[in-house]
Chains A and B, each alone.
Chain A
């Protein structure tokens, strides 16, 4: 169950060993490059680079296939909507009423769809190679207040637990002949009320116990908090940081100066 909520796949690869802050920098830089570009080749190149990184980090093929399964419907929808809503210039392949399919709007739709895919893969590469505790620790190290980090960690921790509780409560109410499948949408939504209320009561009890447990473990002791989980920024992390910053800077410079990546098909317009 927890596998659904914890995407981390343990390994000793270079990507796993990379400082999580550097991986976060990569995600942000990739986002900037992808959002600044409208070019199919830039999107494909980013996707290929992320796939190469995932492959070299020995991330299981089924994980990569899962990301494709999750993102492909959205990508297809975006591509279709783009073609439908933005009539392209130039000769039309198909022209039906307001729908006008051209090389230009197909390429742009493809670029927009690939942008979503590339962004998703960049984020998942970070989540696949960084365990939750390190992820939260890196955010706190980057300046997120510790209580926020604690809330994030607890949310990640309790997601599977609360999902399990919801299932048990749903079972308990159905065992008392509660029918969740009959009637119209409003009737069905109303049928969920006993589950939602019981869930709320259980969540409040858990929250009360949790607050006592946190206090009992000296949260807010009034001393400067230390951290067991230390992040080690090594020379290789520095090399990657420089490489990412330089590559992003170079792309943005080329984009502004020569319009690289501004057109959907031609790299340099």
Chain B
């Protein structure tokens, strides 16, 4: 018997408002998952992945209502006819939002909650709690309050709480979407452990192709409420038509394989970093490439503008604090740095000896010196709690310096109100729901301009412009709170865009969004940068930072650990390691092939392909 059998499942949510139409999400979906299999579920935002997962434990339709047809069988039980609480013995589900699934006052009470509801003997509950916390490596935290845990720890506790019910099928709904890189690694380590040691049946929805390729036995891709294809990760990620249709991105190493095959006529086929390193490393080693030392070797290949080794100043220099990027007399970007000559000139934000401390128990953000040039495109990266948000909240005056100064376009933030700074600095918060309150999208977008005291005509003009810029005109009269996540994200961005700030701060703008929505959103942000705005991106997505931003600031334990042009910062492996960060997959792959002569400052797929082709040409003494 299969673990899960879904046959021709159709489901529509009840109307969102009286008189509205039902919202059809699943449209004749069929899928089978075998016992002990790890199935990854992928698809664009809003395609119905969460709905499908909730159908497995009966929440859909038993709690949500709506119209359902077709059949969902989990370990022989019909999920529509079996009470949710009864199904919970067999199907454990971990949701994306860690905050709203931990409701007890301590970690151990949280883990015990499920077995208590199932009437398990207290002595056995104690054993299960100890075991489950041990599996997720949280035993040392059993007495702590969930509110005191990091995002990754919370998600691990949520997994432990589900495991303690001894489910035969574990369902994970984008468990790492809201986590920093460290939290993602913590959760994935647990998933890997469950797969390798316990052969658990796992169904995990995810947008992260690299994670999926690493762990999943099979990938099911959802398009328009149906499974378009369910196959091995490598086969799925090589299906370019399918990925284009579903708006998904393949792991970067798959794109590397495709690029190499197109350029060199090779037949590489890999989906994981290890497989790529093995295939390309053996190839390079087989070609007899041996570099005399690791330094001092420069490649100039068509399409590749990077240097083989970082410039001397990127090695051994203690820090970039106080460095000025893109401006006159600055630490000038190396010739290969993207963004060169794009007017990233005079300082727009200047931070001098900034310290901030929330209260006497928190860590002070000590002595940050920073200059951000006009029209800069800066990514601020670092783990949660490293001080990224604290720093950028000083740029629009939400936080005032404990000591030191912050000047924004020459204005001292200490003596200027948040409202006045809002004319210059726009701040899009991570969660769109933290700013959405309007009855219509139009009202929401016009809120900022109205607060600026503009005339009704100008408010209308700016609102219309912002709605058009973010393709929201068709939704102008809809209530924003009931729109899908991707649209709500656009509304929050349009609402800030309408205020026409010169400096735009975006906090995790693409978290939880699929590749197509991400590309769409970033195209608009890129356009704003081209129009002369200064863009500051707070992100955990290294690939996003590498592909879009011209400078990177690494925050670690409240201080600026590294600051400089993107390529140079991503070459500072010691600093990245200290901040527990890693460059994008192409960069990691290049670094793994460094001994074979690959330059370590590669950031994008195209750069990798060009550098690898050039490596072959250099070895053979000819052109690629």
A: which residues have CB within 8 A of B? 1-3, 6, 10, 131-133, 136, 150, 153-154, 156-158, 160-161, 165, 168-169, 171-179, 181, 193-195, 197-198, 201-202, 205-206, 209-230
Contacts and interface: CB of A to CB of B under 8 A. Distances in A.
B429 A175 contact: yes
B303 interface: no
Contact of B434 (A132, A156, A172): A172
7 contacts: A168-B431, A173-B435, A194-B447, A197-B437, A214-B103, A216-B95, A217-B114
Given A157-B105, A175-B398, A214-B103, A223 B419 contact: no
Contacts of B99: 161, 206
Say which size band chain B's interface belongs to.
35 or more
B109 interface: yes
Interface of B: 54, 57, 59, 63, 83-86, 88-89, 92-93, 95, 97, 99-106, 108-109, 112-122, 125-126, 129, 143, 145-148, 161-162, 165, 361, 393, 396, 398, 417-419, 422-423, 425-427, 429, 431, 433-437, 447-448, 451-452, 481, 495-496, 499
Contacts of B396: 175
A150 B100 CA distance: 14
Nearest to A198: B437
Contacts of B499: 176-177
CB-based closest 7 A-B pairs: A228-B112, A177-B451, A209-B100, A223-B119, A213-B101, A197-B437, A221-B85
B95 A212 contact: yes
Contact of A168 (B103, B118, B434): B434
Contacts of B393: 171
Contact of B436 (A136, A201, A212): A201
A73 to B, nearest CB: 22
Given A6-B145, A175-B427, A218 B434 contact: no
A218 B89 CA distance: 8
Given A168-B429, A212-B54, A176 B117 contact: no
Contact of A220 (B102, B117, B120, B148): B117
A223 B116 CA distance: 10
Nearest to A156: B105
B97 A198 contact: no
A118 to B, nearest CB: 28
Contacts of A209: 95, 97, 100-101
Most buried by A among B88, B121, B147, B422: B147
A230 B122 contact: yes
Contacts of B148: 2
B400 to A, nearest CB: 13
A154 B110 CA distance: 11
A156 B147 CA distance: 11
Nearest to A10: B143
